[in-house]
Structure 1
Amino acid sequence: MLNTTSIKTIIMIVFGTALVAILSLFAISLLSKKTSSSPTTSYTQTDTQKPKVELPENFVDTGISKLKDTITRDFIVKNIGEKTLQLRNINSSCGCTSAKIISGDQETKEYGMSKRSLEVVNIAPGAEATIRVIYRPFTMPVYGVIIREVYIDTNDPDFSKIILRMKANITK
């Protein structure tokens, strides 16, 4: 038979567990709102008005660098379409490589393989942005010729993924 103290203890445990569950759900709800990406607009290839990526260069050979160096190169992407171009989901081929986008007064954080972006960068028709690729060989030491890649999704139906390649020859 349960005494009054046992019943009170059971009620407190049940109440405490319920309170923790409710607070956990509330915290998850708040975090998901903070990290959600901006809405993106999609287009089809048959749309007459749509964003259009112009990427004059997607490969750069940086030459010889030392393992301790940080190699940074800028790529320009221009929107030559009639609608806003959206860049999102920055990712990379290696944890040693990251990228950020600079457009007007907006600059994203650095993102790469270990930290994918949730930010969306809007580029107006006729405008351009800089994609800054950063390679830090010392974080994943490899010697010799390497090629690292950065991937960025777009809402251009004809150019849905930008792939930027950086080549380097790493020495001691």
Structure 2
Amino acid sequence: MGFFISMKQSTTLFIFVGVIVLFLVGVVLIAWPSASNVPEETASVSDSSPSTLKLSESSFDFGTISMKAGKVQRMFGVTNTGTTPVEVEKLYTSCMCTTAKWTQGDDRRGPFGMPGHASVPALNATLQPGETANVQVEFDPAAHGPAGIGPVNRLVYLDTGSGTPLEFEFTASVTP
């Protein structure tokens, strides 16, 4: 009687734990967004072309928000100030706690989320010169649980496929 493990049981346990560790490492590697999916710099879209996207605002501070109060939203306007149509291929966010919805006239699409965390469908929307679309950003302060308390900075990206995506952000201070 005791806590002795036979050599065969020890080998089986070692193999079992090894398989679990390899599985978890694989899940993390698959879920982790690659550098090509999450840009690091802010830039305007199509700087060298006659078509340019401009935001109504590039950042917004929600101030202090409470987890128990639920989700918060903000609408960002996106206007094609150029002379030719702009194709917006993708809309995505920097974190799974944030989603974005595209509204262009009667056309409503989304929600769009974080690459690598979930499937992010293509947007493939065309903005004509002078046309404005809206991106409604929704942040769930409770998505990270108690670890999500404190300052938050999240990004949303519009990608035209012709350079660095247009980036806009919001900040908040999350309380329980």
| Same topology, TM > 0.5 | yes
Q: TM-score, normalised by structure 2?
A: 0.65
Do structure 1's residue 152 and structure 2's residue 152 form an aligned pair? no
Give the C-alpha shift of residue 96 in structure 1. Answer: 0.5
What aligned pairs does 1:16-165 form with structure 2 within 5 A after superposition? Answer: 45=48, 50-68=50-68, 69-113=70-114, 114-141=118-145, 142-154=148-160, 157=162, 160-165=164-169
Give the C-alpha shift of residue 117 in structure 1. Answer: 2.5
Alpha-carbon distance in structure 2 between the residues aligned to 1:160 and 1:85: 14
Alpha-carbon distance in structure 1 between the residues aligned to 2:56 and 2:91: 19
Letter in 2 for 1:66: S
Letter in 2 for 1:61: D
Runs of 4+ in 1 over 2 A off after TM superposition: none
Q: TM-score, normalised by structure 1?
A: 0.66
Cα deviation, 1:39-98, whole Å, max 9, x if unaligned, reads: xxxx793x5xx3211223110000111113101001111111111122222221111011
Letter in 2 for 1:88: E
Give the C-alpha shift of residue 115 in structure 1. Answer: 3.2
Report which stretch shifted further, 69-78 or 83-92: 83-92
Q: How many residues align?
A: 125
Q: Which sections of structure 1, spanning at least 5 residues, go unmatched?
A: 1-42
Q: Which sections of structure 2, spanning at least 5 residues, go unmatched?
A: 1-45
Do structure 1's residue 167 and structure 2's residue 171 form an aligned pair? yes
Instruction: Report % sequence identity.
Output: 26
Give the C-alpha shift of residue 130 in structure 1. Answer: 0.6
Three-state SS of the structure 1 residue aligned to 2:83 is coil
